[in-house]
């Protein structure tokens, strides 16, 4: 990479924006079809009643809330990881940050739709918003769902800001090279960026402030998601360990999603010269740490429940370990620990392919984890007379598939409209590496040309 000149970097990273292939359009059409199917399923659910989903008494939350927690968890990929790496001044992060931050924005938007999809009356979701209404009541601020609403909206606003701020110089770069309508659109997106040194300094300090501010926001979001469960007196939900357990799991699945996204970008956008094995290795090490942390949390949680031997908790405990949910439980343990641990721990296996295999396992495993937190507890709640089970219907499965397709489509569209690797940050790294004057001065001169 050291051999690349600033001009080469610009050309390489702007190339994906210059056109679309037939393969791209085919994939887009297929994914759009899945999304349309999901919208039809949701429409059918509203028309016929939410009874077309598989939820039942006593399992009132199923796939929808599983997906909610899963996607919100995935959203911890970007903002948190990129903020921590920025603050730690890890220089290898430069090609990674933007594709991480954009996962956050899209995963969060998708995750936030699930509490609405799952409502009995989705058209009344706006009652969560505090506004002076004819009904004369505010939302109930004691409810963790209302905390969710505020936490997620805060996180969405801050992660969008965190994504858009460092995009400004790149938007201006495209603006300066474009003509016609394209120029107009990118002019708006660049927000009048001129590349003056004053603007550079402001951008630097804004990013510093955002990186610090976004970390507590991200931690609070998944803590509050965990409190949706931990606040209710339900066996194996009512646990003090839940907030850190959920945050660790969120970062875990977030890194995995980031590795998969990076591998796909590398292959399809031909970014082999920018997303190097070093990046996958470093993220793989982070994933290894999180895998160990995840195992530690699950072990600590299960051990205390087993040792405590409380009557209401044991049916849930055994249902997951040896009972009807045990196949899912052991698949989860395999995907989240037994598979990724050796791959990531052995240096020879920690290749790009290796980390992608481990990450795929983790994404599946973490989805199962969310399911196994929610459903077994509800189906084995206190009075044995009301024990029950849960099976999703085609409606829930279609909507779930639709959100994965939506994530892919949003990511594909983004990668074709915005350079997925931050051009100016890479150039700045090149300049720093060559021991030249400070980055912003050099890039500022370029912008002024």
Query: Applying CB under 8 A, does 119 fall inside the site for other proteins?
Result: yes
CB of 56 to other proteins, least distance (A): 3
Considering only 7, 15, 33, 60, the residue that binds other proteins (CB under 8 A) is 60
CB of 52 to other proteins, least distance (A): 8
**SS in 3 state form for the chain?**
CCCCCHHHHHHHHHHHHHCCCHHHHHHHHHHHHHHHHHHHHHHHHHHHCHHHCCCCCCCCCCHHHHHHHHHHHHCCCHHHHHHHHHHCCCHHHCCCHHHHHHHHHHHHHHHHHHHHHCCCCHHHHHHHCCCCCCCCCCCCCCCHHHHHHHHHHHHHHHHHHHHHHHHHHHHHHHHHHCCHHHHHHHHHHHCCCCCCHHHHHHHHHHHHHHHHHHHHHHHHHHHHHHHHHHCCCCCCCCCCCHHHHHHHHHHHHHHHHHHHHHHHHHHHCCCCCCCCHHHHHHHHHHHHHHHHHHHHHHHHHHHHHHHHCCCCHHHHHHHHHCCCCHHHHHHHHHHHHHCHHHHHHCHHHCCHHHHHHHHHHHHHHHHHHHHHHHHHHHHCCCCHHHCCCCCCCHHHHHHHHHHHHHHHHHHHHHHHHCCCCCHHHHHHHHHHHCCCCCHHHHHHHHHHC
Contact letters for other proteins, residues 97-116 (x by CB under 8 A): ------------------x-
Considering only 144, 323, 330, 341, the residue that binds other proteins (CB under 8 A) is 144
CB of 240 to other proteins, least distance (A): 17
Query: Applying CB under 8 A, does 416 fall inside the site for other proteins?
Result: no
Query: Applying CB under 8 A, does 130 fall inside the site for other proteins?
Result: no
Query: Applying CB under 8 A, does 370 fall inside the site for other proteins?
Result: no
- Of 68-76, 135-143, 249-257, 439-447, the segment contacting other proteins by CB under 8 A is 135-143
Query: Applying CB under 8 A, does 321 fall inside the site for other proteins?
Result: no
Considering only 93, 94, 98, 118, the residue that binds other proteins (CB under 8 A) is 118
Query: Applying CB under 8 A, does 394 fall inside the site for other proteins?
Result: no
Query: Applying CB under 8 A, does 240 fall inside the site for other proteins?
Result: no
Of residues 233 and 437, the one with the C-beta less far from other proteins: 233
CB of 310 to other proteins, least distance (A): 10
CB of 101 to other proteins, least distance (A): 30
Query: Applying CB under 8 A, does 324 fall inside the site for other proteins?
Result: no
Contact residues toward other proteins (CB under 8 A) are 48-51, 55-61, 115, 118-121, 124-125, 127-128, 135, 137, 139-140, 142-146, 149, 228, 231-234, 378, 381-383, 385-386, 388
């Amino acid at each position: 990479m050291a051999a690349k000149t600033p001009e080469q970097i610009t050309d390489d990273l702007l190339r994906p924006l210059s056109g679309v292939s037939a393969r791209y359009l085919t994939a887009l059409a297929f994914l759009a079809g899945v999304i349309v199917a999901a919208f039809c399923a949701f429409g059918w659910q509203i028309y016929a009643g939410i009874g077309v989903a598989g939820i039942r008494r006593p399992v009132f939350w199923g796939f929808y809330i599983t997906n909610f927690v899963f996607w919100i968890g995935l959203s911890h990929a970007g903002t948190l990881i990129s903020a921590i790496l920025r603050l730690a001044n890890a220089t290898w992060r430069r090609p990674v940050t933007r594709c991480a931050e954009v996962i956050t924005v899209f995963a969060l938007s998708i995750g936030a739709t699930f509490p609405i999809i799952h409502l009995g009356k989705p058209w009344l979701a706006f009652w969560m918003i505090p506004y002076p209404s004819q009904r004369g009541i505010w939302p109930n601020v004691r409810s963790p769902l209302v905390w969710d609403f505020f936490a997620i909206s805060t996180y969405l606003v801050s992660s969008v800001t965190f994504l858009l701020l460092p995009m400004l110089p790149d938007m201006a770069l495209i603006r300066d090279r474009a003509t016609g309508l394209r120029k107009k659109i990118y002019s708006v997106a660049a927000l009048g960026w001129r590349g003056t040194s004053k603007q550079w300094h402001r951008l630097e300090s804004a990013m510093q402030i955002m990186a610090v501010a976004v970390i507590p926001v991200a931690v609070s979001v998944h803590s509050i998601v965990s409190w949706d469960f931990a606040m209710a007196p339900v066996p194996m939900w009512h646990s003090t360990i839940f907030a850190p357990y959920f945050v660790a799991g969120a970062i875990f699945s977030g890194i995995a999603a980031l590795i998969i996204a990076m591998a796909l970008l590398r292959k399809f956008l031909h970014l082999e010269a920018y997303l190097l094995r070093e990046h996958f290795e470093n993220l793989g090490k982070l994933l290894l740490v999180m895998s160990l942390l995840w195992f530690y949390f699950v072990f600590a949680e299960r051990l205390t429940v087993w040792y405590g031997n409380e009557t209401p908790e044991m049916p849930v405990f055994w249902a997951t370990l040896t009972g009807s949910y045990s196949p899912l439980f052991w698949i989860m343990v395999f995907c989240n620990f037994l598979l990724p641990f050796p791959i990531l721990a052995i240096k020879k296996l920690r290749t790009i392919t290796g980390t992608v295999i481990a990450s795929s396992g983790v994404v599946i495993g973490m989805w199962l984890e969310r399911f196994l937190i929610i459903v077994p507890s509800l189906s084995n709640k206190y009075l044995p007379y009301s024990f029950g089970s849960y099976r999703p219907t085609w409606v829930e499965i279609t909507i779930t598939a639709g959100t994965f397709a939506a994530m892919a489509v949003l990511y594909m569209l983004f990668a074709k409209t915005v350079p997925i690797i931050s051009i100016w940050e890479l150039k700045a790294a090149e300049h720093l590496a060559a021991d030249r004057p400070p980055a912003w001065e050099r890039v500022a001169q370029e912008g002024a040309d």
